[in-house]
């Protein structure tokens, strides 16, 4: 895929899946805006890697749950870089995938759900609203929202996290319907467990073995496994796809 002379914004890109996605775009020639929340040094290292891979990288701080901060970030992108071709909404509220320490439903508070909704849905809402003028101006663009295969198959019932990601899928389908006539596509990528990341670092070996045993491809995804589907949905190769969810979990979910 050729992303030369194209600009891509990846939120939550200072580490893990977001960093892998940012570097994959750069390897195809893209100018990548590496959004981060707190770790400026890590984000700058990702931006440096993007430049070393043959693209370009620019680390920009913004809390995606803060509407004003997101609008300021996107305004900077418009002023200093220009058109925005694709957005990957990868940022999410920190979460530990540890079934032994997860909150059981009868111990959950609505605040647990609200925190995840704010991270998954509110952040994506803010970014989509902010980038829409840049994309409408050109009557084209691709938005890729990162969700999870737990929406379709709650292998471990992480109630608050999976419920928020379910809402993100519904949001994406409605957005795809409304923005399609404007030339803007909206799709989702739904990984299963991805290792290693900060979120999956505490996942027990027994849990990983259980997931591997149920996965047709008999392994767990790495961050690099997620990058291809994201780039595909952001590229013209998927130009007649919108409102879709691609499961990237080795066949654990089929549908």
Give the catalytic positions in this structure.
161
Which tokens go with 181? Answer: 């006539």
Number of residues that this document lists for the chain: 255
User: CA dist 16 to 21, 131, 201, Å?
Assistant: 9, 24, 11
Instruction: Return phi, psi of residue 61, to 5°.
Output: -85, 135
Nearest to 24 by CA among 247, 223, 244: 223
CB 125 within 8 Å of CB 153: no
Please state, in angstroms and rounded to a whole number, the distance separating the CA atoms of residues 33 and 170: 26
* Distance in Å from the first CA to the final CA of the chain: 26
Dist. CA 16–CA 13, nearest whole Å: 7
Evaluate whether 91 touches 125 at the Cβ level (below 8 Å): no
The dihedral sign for the CA sequence 200, 202, 205, 210: negative
In b/e form, how buried is each residue of 160-177, taking b as 16+ CB within 10 angstroms? bbbbbbbbbbebbbebbe
């Amino acid at each position: 895929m050729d992303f030369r002379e194209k600009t891509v914004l990846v939120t939550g890109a200072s580490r893990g899946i977001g960093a892998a996605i940012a570097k994959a775009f750069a390897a195809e020639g893209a100018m990548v805006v590496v959004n981060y929340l707190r770790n400026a040094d890590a984000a700058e290292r990702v931006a440096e890697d993007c430049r070393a891979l043959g693209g370009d990288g620019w680390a920009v701080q913004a809390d995606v749950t803060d509407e004003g901060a997101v609008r300021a970030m996107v305004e900077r992108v418009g002023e200093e870089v220009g058109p925005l071709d694709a957005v990957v909404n990868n940022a999410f509220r920190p979460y530990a995938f540890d079934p032994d320490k997860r909150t059981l439903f009868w111990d959950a508070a609505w605040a647990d759900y609200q925190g995840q909704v704010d991270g998954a849905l509110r952040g994506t809402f803010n970014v989509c609203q902010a980038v829409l003028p840049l994309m409408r101006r050109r009557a084209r663009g691709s938005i890729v929202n990162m969700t999870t295969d737990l929406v379709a198959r709650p292998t471990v019932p992480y109630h608050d996290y999976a419920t928020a990601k379910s809402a993100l899928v519904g949001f994406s389908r409605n957005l795809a319907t409304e923005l399609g006539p404007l030339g803007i596509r909206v799709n989702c990528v739904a990984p299963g467990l991805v290792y290693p990341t900060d979120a999956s670092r505490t996942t027990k070996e027994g849990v990983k073995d259980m997931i591997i045993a149920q996965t047709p491809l008999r392994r767990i995804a790495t961050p690099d496994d997620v990058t291809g589907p994201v780039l595909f949905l952001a590229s013209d190769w998927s130009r007649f796809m919108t409102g879709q969810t691609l499961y990237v979990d080795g066949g654990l979910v089929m549908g």
